[in-house]
Amino acid sequence: MKKLINKPENYVDEVLQGMAAAHPETYAIGGATGRMLHRPQPVAQKVGVVSGGGFGHIPVFGGYIGDGLLDACAIGDVFASPDMNPMLESIQFASTGKGVLCIVGNYGGDRMNFDMACEMAAMEDITAVKVVVADDVAAAPPEESEKRRGVAGFVYVTKIAGAAAAAGYDLIQTQNVAQKAADNIRSIGVALTSCTVPQAGKPTFDIADDEIEIGMGIHGEPGVGRSKLTSVDTIADQMIDRLLTDKPVNSGDRVAILVNGLGATPVEELYLMMRRAKARLADLGAELAHIRVGNYATSMEMAGASITLMHLDDELECLLNAGADCPFWRN
Amino acid sequence: MKKLINKPENYVDEVLQGMAAAHPETYAIGGATGRMLHRPQPVAQKVGVVSGGGFGHIPVFGGYIGDGLLDACAIGDVFASPDMNPMLESIQFASTGKGVLCIVGNYGGDRMNFDMACEMAAMEDITAVKVVVADDVAAAPPEESEKRRGVAGFVYVTKIAGAAAAAGYDLIQTQNVAQKAADNIRSIGVALTSCTVPQAGKPTFDIADDEIEIGMGIHGEPGVGRSKLTSVDTIADQMIDRLLTDKPVNSGDRVAILVNGLGATPVEELYLMMRRAKARLADLGAELAHIRVGNYATSMEMAGASITLMHLDDELECLLNAGADCPFWRN
């Protein structure tokens, strides 16, 4: 395990301390166990927007705390759901009387614990509701889309929900537009190498030097199969084909695209993937109305990339372009 | 070689195409050989600011084209200086009658070719001058600081010079404040793994699974020696100690700090390094007036990190915080 870390058991808390040290205007550590990351001050008179999930995916989840984004976030151990308590603390922090939207990746522990947290919040007369992100087309076929994992699509849902809340949407409106975003997002990833969970000390999975796995999840969950490493154009084509099969892109469609690095892949290679993806979508007559390239949803030092598409309407495009400010997203 | 690329011989040009495809409002490809990256339109009535250097360090160099930053940049092959022509083309593009500042990393080929380009520009009545970035304290002792390599300090010099030009500084004033920035910057890096130049096809150097090299250059140049991988706190201390020995930080000093990833190191680990660096500098009574954490100057898929400090005065701090906009730096 070749990592720049201290003791593995302190990894999560020390990274949070580093984030708060680097960006004290954005991140503060709170909660009874220090696993609630939040803005320095809650924002009055708006719907609260929170999230939570396993650690090791920075900026997902807590990195997206900021203006027009999240108010607070529950932090789990590496690749493990937070328990209910920091989720409830996040809801309490973000609650200023207008209700709280919880953005939840489609993982069993995250969903169950957020359900409990929302019930506990209700006992305190805080209305908290969920939207579930399940964008990974490789995780299950369309007819079982409720089984799909949440991956980089979280970033778009967070941006949309945060912008809606900042614009004065009420709780139901915020939930509805976040759900609309989620329904319009599709992602697929490709892994070249594994990452290592610090407390495990060895790679999560083995993969040969000439192999890739298309559709692998951000925790190393199986994808749609191993294949030999080919050219980035070929790999991008395979990824785009799967996305288009799941939700076609037609001439005149306006689409947002995120080519996301998993942590160890150089941005140069992400631009190669974007080059091909844009050409493919342009051939279909689509307009790429919003483009991002970089490390937006990671798996520590996993090498690989994902492509996320979000079909836009005027409302989604407006909210996507609305002002937002955190160290990982600014516009 | 496990990379998401097409043919190695097309790597540089295809990455540039991807950058221009992703960010057409920021980057355009020009020049006789397509190796001049530039803003879509020159900005009239200001000092031009350009750079150039070997490829494989994105966002360094061309990624920093944008408002309040560079106007144009010459692009070399991977880890190889561009030749004189795209440098001259960059100067010509950025020239709107007020002269052009060339920000040059302290590498022999880059310096020599920019010297020639400046001479050629003079024949066209364009005044072009240089500032050389030589911030790597591991590359040579203080008494031979002219032998030091330019590394992540380039980012600060570019930000300062770009802001000065945008603020209406004349050529000599822009050069002077860029030189003042360069004089106040110190960097040191640590490498955990090598990267692979696509056309070489194999790692630039070997390093054992339990070894690091402090002071290694961004092309794999030797540092101050190999050692066993220890804790990030210990490594950060060694790096900070070398920076402080070279240029002390005293109580009350205002300092900018950049903890930079070399490409394959997760941002979580960069935050651990920042955590320790900030604690060390706070112990000295310094104020960290500007903090950045992320991949700002890379070596493709090299794992490792660098720490850059810039001592600030009012002018440098003002220019550092002035508005700037490119995909890799916005404020």
pLDDT digits (tens, 9 = 90+) for B257-287: 999 999 999 999 999 999 999 999 999 999 9
Active site residue B311: no
Distance between CA atoms of B203 and A198, rounded to whole angstroms?
A: 26
Measured between beta carbons, the chain A residues lying within 8 angstroms of B8 are none
- Closest by CA position to B70, among listed B22, B92, B103, B21: B103
Concatenated DSSP letters for A284-321?
TT-EEEEEEEE-SS--TTB-EEEEEEEE--HHHHHHHH
d(CA B254, CA A228): 52
B271/A23 CB distance under 8 A: no
Q: How close is the nearest chain A Cα to the Cα of B16, in Å?
A: 8
pLDDT at B32 over 90: yes
> Which residues in A26-64 are b (16+ Cβ under 10 Å) and which e?
bbbbbbeeebbbbbeeebeebbbbbbbbbbbbbbbbbbb
| Catalytic annotation present for A219 | yes
pLDDT of residue A319: 98
Q: Examine the domain organization and report whether B61 and B155 are in the same domain.
A: yes
What are the structure tokens assigned to A191, written together? 């892994």
Q: Is the pLDDT of residue A183 over 90?
A: yes
What is residue A256's three-state secondary structure?
strand
Looking at the predicted structure, is the pLDDT value of residue A225 above 90?
no
B174 and B251 in a single domain? The answer is no
* Interchain pair A274, B21: CB under 8 A: yes
Number of domains in chain A: 2
Please report which helix (H) or strand (E) contains residue B113, including its range: helix B108-123
Structure ipTM: 0.98
Catalytic annotation, pick one of B23, B38, B57, B311: B57
What would the pLDDT profile of A240-260 be if each residue is shown by its tens digit? 999 999 999 999 999 999 999
A19 phi/psi in degrees, rounded to 5: -65, -45
* CB within 8 Å: B294 and A264: no
Closest CA to A279 of B7, B38, B22: B22
Q: What is the pLDDT of residues B177-207, one digit of tens each?
A: 999 999 999 999 999 999 999 999 999 999 9
Please report whether residue A330 resides in a domain: no
Question: Could B303 and A264 be called an inter-chain contact, meaning their C-beta atoms sit closer than 8 Å?
Answer: yes
Q: At residue B29, does pLDDT exceed 90? A: yes
Question: Is residue A208 domain-shared with residue A316, that is, in the same domain?
Answer: yes
CA distance A247 to chain B (A): 22
Q: Are residues B102 and B159 in the same domain?
A: yes
- Name which of B33, B14, B125, B155 is nearest B82 in CA terms: B33
Question: Which among B21, B293, B330 has the least Cβ separation from residue A278?
Answer: B21
Q: Note whether residue A297 is domain-resident.
A: yes
Within 10 angstroms of residue A248's Cβ, the number of other Cβ atoms is: 10
Banded model confidence at residue A132, pLDDT cuts 50, 70, 90:
very high
Closest residue in B to A19 (Cα) is B271
Same domain, A146 and A288: no
Same domain, B174 and B217: no
User: Does B123 lie in the same domain as B226?
Assistant: no
Query: Are A264 and A250 within 8 A, CB to CB?
Result: no
Both A166 and A268 in one domain: the answer is no
On whether both A163 and A210 belong to a single domain, the answer is no
Measured between beta carbons, the chain B residues lying within 8 angstroms of A266 are: 58, 195, 263-264, 298, 300-301
Q: Are residues A292 and A248 both part of a single domain?
A: yes
Residue B11 vs residues A238, B17, B38, B96, B317: alpha-carbon distances, Å: 20, 10, 19, 32, 37
> From the candidates B23, B38, B219, B311, which is the catalytic residue?
B219
Residue A288 CA: distances (Å) to CA of A101, A187, A281, B158: 29, 16, 8, 30
What is the rounded CA–CA span in Å between residue B252 and residue B75? 40
- CATH number, position B264: 3.30.1180.20
Peptide bond into A61 cis (omega under 30): yes
Report whether A95 contacts A48 (CB < 8 A): yes
Which tokens is B236 given?
């950060």
Q: Which domain holds residue A78?
A: 12-184
CA distance A152 to chain B (A): 16
pLDDT at B222 over 90: no
A113 lies in the same domain as A153: yes
Interface A-B, measured as beta-carbon pairs within 8 A, has a size of: 161
With an 8 Å Cβ cutoff, are A264 and B267 in contact? no
Instruction: Compute the nearest-CA separation of A181 from chain B (Å).
Output: 22
Q: What's the pLDDT at A268?
A: 98
Indicate the SS3 state at residue B42: coil
Domain end (from A184, A205, A233): A184
What is the spatial distance between Cα A269 and Cα A258, in angstroms, rounded to a whole number? 14
Place of tokens 């709107």: B96
In the predicted model, what is the mean pLDDT of residues A163-171? 98
Annotated catalytic residue: which of A38, A57, A290, A311?
A: A57
Q: Which amino acid is at A151?
A: V
Rg of the Cα trace of chain A? Answer: 19
Note whether B162 and B46 are within 8 A (CB).
no
Nearest chain A Cα distance for residue B283, angstroms: 14
Residue B105 lies in a domain: yes
In a domain, A78, yes or no: yes
Cβ–Cβ gap B229/A2 under 8 Å? yes
Calculate how close chain B gets to A280, using CA atoms only, in Å: 12
Predicted local confidence at residue B220, as pLDDT: 86
Selected for mutation to probe chain A from B268, B271, B302 (highest A CB count within 10 Å) is B268
pLDDT score, position B99: 98
**Contact residues on chain A for B264, CB-CB shorter than 8 A:** 263-266, 301, 303
| Helix H or strand E segment including A241 | helix A232-246
For residue A18, the chain B residues in CB contact (below 8 A) are 270-275, 293
Q: How confident is the model at residue B165 (pLDDT cuts 50, 70, 90)?
A: very high
Q: CA gyration radius for chain B?
A: 19
Residue B225 — very low, low, confident or very high, per pLDDT cuts 50/70/90? confident
Question: Does residue A31 form part of some domain?
Answer: yes
Q: Does A316 reside within a domain?
A: yes
Contact B58, A268 (CB under 8 A): yes
Calpha distance B283→B304 (Å, rounded): 25
Q: Is residue B190 part of a domain?
A: yes
* Token pair of B193 as six digits: 């793994």
Report the interhelical angle of B153-166 vs B171-183 (nearest 10°): 150
In A, which residues are within 8 Å of B192 by CB distance? 2, 4
Is A331 a domain residue?
no
Closest A-chain CA to B276: A18
Write the CA distances from A37 to A55, A199, B246, integer angstroms: 12, 22, 37
Q: For the sheet containing B100-105, what is the strand order?
A: B28-30, B36-38, B72-78, B48-55, B100-105, B128-133
Distance of residue A135 Cα from the nearest chain B Cα, in angstroms: 22
- Chain B, nearest residue to A288 by Cα: B22
Check CB contact under 8 Å for B278 and A21.
yes
Confidence check: pLDDT of A220 > 90: no
Cβ-defined contact of B266 to A19 (cutoff 8 Å): no
pLDDT at A222: 87
CA distance B266 to B148: 27
Residue that terminates a domain, selected from B184, B212, B243: B184
Inter-chain touch B15–A271, beta carbons under 8 Å? yes
Contact (CB<8Å) A15/B271: yes
Tell me if B178 sits within 8 A of B101, measured CB to CB: yes
**Do B51 and B148 belong together in one domain?**
yes
CATH number at residue B147: 3.40.50.10440
Q: What is the DSSP string of B138-170?
A: TSS-GGGGGGPPP-THHHHHHHHHHHHHHTT--
Average pLDDT over residues B71-78: 98
Q: Between chains, do B266 and A58 touch, taking CB under 8 Å as contact?
A: yes
Using the 3D structure, point to which of A116, A151, A184 is the last residue of a domain.
Answer: A184
Which of B15, B268, B272 is opposite residue A268, by nearest beta carbon?
B15
CB contact under 8 A, A5 and B192: no
- Helix (H/G/I), strand (E/B), else coil: A217: coil
